[in-house]
């Protein structure tokens, strides 16, 4: 993916003022400014939380994009609409607004980056009795760093006016609501790609369970002494088990490496049990348990209490699945 920044303009939307401070011309682009804008555009495009949106039929923003080819005037109009709404709803943080004319793989795009202010600190020097004295001063209007995160922004594909939107909900008239998609841009909203992926995983897991339950059982290869233990929901006390097998697996629903242990164990009568020991902390790599996790290994004897979560049979062997496991 190639991002080329052609021009950019910055407007000040400080809601402690009565009006925005609008630039009359584009900023002079340097290598540092270009790299800053390119980085945040690329980070927005790669975000799991970004929404794919399309204009509503009466979107004034889309009409402005189609009719107004004056980049500076267009950016000022966007900044004015945004500032008016922010000024009327002070729960929305003040920001600088960077409007960027760029191409993505040769196609024209418009970037609208709301650079929300952050509190920061720097040094300052004053003269006291003729001697320099260094101190610390707070700066209220610090922008996100180059390695930081832009919390709100829109990237518009000017070939079809579709939009990739990252927005946040704020307390507006007593309710947590979006305002960029509904008020400023008047675009439809869709679920972020991350949520779509999670729903797809959940659907796939449900399908796998149903498929396993509905599939005709295979003829058992041999007769196992294992039988189902307890009723579903029943609490089993003082189970004395020997661990037969342990499989470590990464919890894919968490962003970092949380390694669970999938445990197969048996009692003295040969009844088989399956349960999962969840990670007690984050691991540094996907191949090693956290130092906070208790490590289980084949041959280990354990005593536990647990609830029966289900029963299933595989290759002629009956298994009792346990949950809410407590050791001792």
**Burial (0-12, 13-18, 19+ Cβ within 10 Å), 61:** buried
Q: Which residue has the tokens 């402690």?
A: 16
Q: Helix %, strand %, coil % for the chain, to 5?
A: 20, 40, 40
Looking only at the bridges linking them, the beta strands covering 272-277 and 317-327 are parallel
**Quick one: pLDDT at residue 203?**
60
Reading the block at residue 178, the tokens are 């979006």
Structure confidence at residue 200 (pLDDT): 59
Tokens of 184: 């400023």
pLDDT for residue 139: 76
Give the per-residue pLDDT at 201.
Answer: 64
Q: Is 102 helix (H, G, I), strand (E, B) or coil?
A: strand
Angle between helices 60-67 and 71-88 (to 10 degrees): 160
3-class secondary-structure state, position 168: coil
- The two structure tokens encoding residue 151: 């919390």
In the prediction, which pLDDT does 322 show?
A: 94
**Closest among 113, 149, 317, 133 to 218, alpha carbons compared:** 317
pLDDT at 116: 93
Domain locations along the chain: 3-192, 225-327
- Which CATH number describes the domain made up of 225-327? 2.40.50
C-alpha span between 289 and 61 (Å, rounded): 52
Extract the tokens encoding 327.
């050791």
pLDDT tens for the chain, residues 1 to 328? 799 999 999 999 999 999 999 999 999 999 999 999 999 999 999 888 898 999 998 889 999 999 999 999 999 999 999 999 999 998 999 999 999 999 999 999 999 999 998 888 888 888 888 899 898 888 777 888 877 889 999 999 999 999 999 999 999 888 899 999 988 999 987 655 555 555 556 666 655 555 555 566 655 455 688 999 999 999 999 999 999 999 988 877 677 888 999 999 999 999 999 999 999 888 888 888 888 889 999 999 999 999 999 999 888 899 999 999 999 8
* DSSP string over 239-301: EEEEEEEEEEEE-TTSSSB-EEEEEEEE-TT--EEEEEE--SS-BSSTTS--TTSPP--TT-E
Contacts of 316 (CB under 8 A, 6+ apart): 218, 219, 220, 221, 222, 223, 224
């Amino acid at each position: 993916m190639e991002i080329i920044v052609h021009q950019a303009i910055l407007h000040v939307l400080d809601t402690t003022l009565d009006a925005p401070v609008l630039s009359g011309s584009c900023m002079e682009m340097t290598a540092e400014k270009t790299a800053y804008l390119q980085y945040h555009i690329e980070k927005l495009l790669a975000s799991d939380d970004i929404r794919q949106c399309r204009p509503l039929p009466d979107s004034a923003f889309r009409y402005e994009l189609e009719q107004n080819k004056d980049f500076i005037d267009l950016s000022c109009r966007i900044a004015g609409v945004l500032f008016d709404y922010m000024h009327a709803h002070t729960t929305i943080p003040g920001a600088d607004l960077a409007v960027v004319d760029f191409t993505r793989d040769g196609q024209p795009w418009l970037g609208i980056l709301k650079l929300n202010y952050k509190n920061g600190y720097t040094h300052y020097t004053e003269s006291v009795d003729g001697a320099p004295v260094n101190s610390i001063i707070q700066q209220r209007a610090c922008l996100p760093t180059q390695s930081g995160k832009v919390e709100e922004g829109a990237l518009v594909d000017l070939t079809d006016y579709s939009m990739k939107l990252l927005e946040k909900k704020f307390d507006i008239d007593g309710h947590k609501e979006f305002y960029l998609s509904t008020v400023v841009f008047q675009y439809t909203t869709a679920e972020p790609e991350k949520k779509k992926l999670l729903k797809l995983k959940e659907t796939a897991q449900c399908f796998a369970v149903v498929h396993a339950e509905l599939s005709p059982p295979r003829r058992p290869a041999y007769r196992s002494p294992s039988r189902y233990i307890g009723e579903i929901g029943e609490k089993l006390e003082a189970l004395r088990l020997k661990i037969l097998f342990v499989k470590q697996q990464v919890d894919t629903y968490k962003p970092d490496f949380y390694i669970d242990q999938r445990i197969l164990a048996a009692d003295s009568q040969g009844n088989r049990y399956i349960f999962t020991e969840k990670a007690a902390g984050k691991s540094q790599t996907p191949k090693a348990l956290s130092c906070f996790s208790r490590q289980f290994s084949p041959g280990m004897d354990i005593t536990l209490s647990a609830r029966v979560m289900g029963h299933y049979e595989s290759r002629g062997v009956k298994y009792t699945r346990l949950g809410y496991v407590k050791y001792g």
